Amino acid sequence: MANKLFHITAITNLHVGSGKENIGVVDNLIQRDVVTNLPVINSSSLKGALREHCNGKDFLEYVFGSEPGGTKDNKQDKKEPETKPGNYKFFDAHLLAIPARSDKSPYYMVTCPMAIKHYNETAKMFLGLKDEIIPVPEVSTKDSNGGTYIEDFEFSKLVKSEEIKTHIGSDVDVVVISDDDFKELCDDEHLPVIARNCLDSKNPNLWYEQVLPRFSVLYFPLIAAENFDVFKNAVTNTLVQIGANATIGYGFCKIEDKTQSNSNTQQS
């Protein structure tokens, strides 16, 4: 068994639904971490999306397990469905950085100390590293008389991180804000909401769907066994669709194996 760490970059808007009924303005909300309430892709949803992407591959059952439909004999000589677990262990994908509009740039990538620390802790735990991968910088100064807007937040001084920018491969600056500001930036009042409608004239319908915006960066650890190289090639050399609404272009993502680059950073 070997531990790996992957990044997910949303190329298009991403909606992985919570499955919960909502009586508010937004009908369909995204999944959130039960502790931080930040956006997340639950491991079951992530595994399901990767399984669907790898459908038809020789390693499918070994990696993901078999779905109900197999058989086994019981004492009464009857046959019943059997599910065989896979040999890979998938974990939740947590948010590292999210794009946000600004008056000084079309957008910045934004993160916070809490997200950076959790990323470092995940890298240490799963990759066996001793030191933090990304230094945790100071946070931007929030000021109602400041000079830069990020969404509806006003800052007098922006703290930018070249380390995170390089680590996630961003083409735009990465700004670090406080944990509380980041949580507010990611709450239901600030995440994008897209109106959807049904064009059936007999049953017209309109609903609102929350999305994680394109360019958002998440990460997830993976415990892999055999066939890792072929699995890696299958999910990293193409776009992988995660979540709902594939037919209208939602959820197409780039997945990267960051295991070696994290290890190299630690050694350098």
Q: How far apart are CA 92 and CA 148, in angstroms?
A: 34
Q: How far apart are CA 23 and CA 29, in angstroms?
A: 11
Task: Report pLDDT for 71.
Answer: 45
Q: What is the mean pLDDT of residues 123-140?
A: 93
Query: What single letter denotes the amino acid at residue 84?
Result: K
Question: Exposure string (b/e) for 137-170, b if CB count within 10 Å is 16 or more?
Answer: bebbebeeeeebebeebebeebeebeebbebbeb
Q: How far apart are CA 219 and CA 8, in angstroms?
A: 6
Residues of the chain above pLDDT 90, percent = 76
Q: How far apart are CA 62 and CA 87, in angstroms?
A: 6
- Give the model's confidence band at 67: pLDDT under 50 very low, under 70 low, under 90 confident, else very high: confident
Residue pLDDT, tens place only, 13-61: 999 998 765 656 577 899 999 999 999 999 999 999 999 999 999 999 9
* pLDDT at residue 75 is higher than 50: no
Helix (H) or strand (E) holding 126: helix 113-127
Strands (E), the chain: 2-10, 40-41, 65-73, 79-85, 89-90, 93-100, 108-111, 141-142, 148-150, 153-157, 174-176, 193-198, 205-210, 217-224, 240-241, 252-257
Residue pLDDT, tens place only, 190-213: 999 988 776 665 666 788 899 999
- Give the model's confidence band at 107: pLDDT under 50 very low, under 70 low, under 90 confident, else very high: very high
Residue-averaged pLDDT of the chain: 90
Residue 44 is given by DSSP the state H
Reading the block at residue 225, the tokens are 């066994």
Nearest one of 46, 180, 38, 225 to 119, comparing CA atoms: 38
Residues of the chain above pLDDT 70, percent = 88
* pLDDT at residue 78 is higher than 80: no
* pLDDT at residue 3 is higher than 90: yes
Do residues 164 and 134 make contact, with C-beta atoms less than 8 angstroms apart? yes
Task: Report pLDDT for 81.
Answer: 61
Residue pLDDT, tens place only, 158-185: 999 999 999 999 999 999 999 999 999 9
What's the whole-model pTM score? 0.90
Other CB atoms within 10 Å distance of the CB of residue 89: 15
Q: How far apart are CA 61 and CA 111, in angstroms?
A: 37
